[in-house]
Amino acid sequence: MRDQGRRHLDYQVARRRAGAQITINCVAPGGSIRNVTKALEREAGKGKRAIEATIPLGRIASAEDIAGPILFLSSPLARHITGEILNVNGGSVPVGLSCTSPQKS
């Protein structure tokens, strides 16, 4: 399923379940350790370093990096959050962000 279709489905399910006080949220991980292929690892770490260079935080996500947001969304602290997709990507994909440069006069 393409991203937009998935987002729409998640949002619709969240809206339908909200009346029953059930929250539906998603975590969208960016690159993670499991996504680094054996081919990249065989290049003496060069492939991994090349990927890390594209991530603003400078490292590939660990399992703990992905698990933390899932635990948060599953906790009572997130009881008023529903229909959201939380991007856990080290800043590499500015999803839903509208950045504009200030106009110089």
**98 is a domain residue:** no
Which pair of structure tokens corresponds to residue 93? 């994909």
- Could you tell me if 86 and 28 are in contact, meaning their C-beta atoms sit under 8 angstroms apart? yes
**102 is a domain residue:** no
**10 is a domain residue:** yes
Structure letter (DSSP) for residue 33: G
**101 is a domain residue:** no
β-strands 26-29, 85-88: how paired? parallel
* Domains in the chain, number: 1
**Percent of the chain surpassing pLDDT 90:** 31
Domain range spanning residue 84? Answer: 3-88
Q: Give pLDDT tens digits for 31-62.
A: 656 555 554 666 666 777 777 888 899 888 88
Which pair of structure tokens corresponds to residue 32? 């993670």
| Whole-model pTM over 0.75 | no
**103 is a domain residue:** no
Q: Give pLDDT tens digits for 56-84.
A: 998 888 889 999 999 999 999 999 999 99
Measured distance CA(11)–CA(7) in Å, rounded: 6
**Partners of 88 in the β-ladder:** 29
CATH number of the domain where residue 76 is located: 3.40.50.720
pLDDT of residue 59: 85
For the chain, what is the radius of gyration of the CA atoms?
A: 17
Measured distance CA(69)–CA(74) in Å, rounded: 8
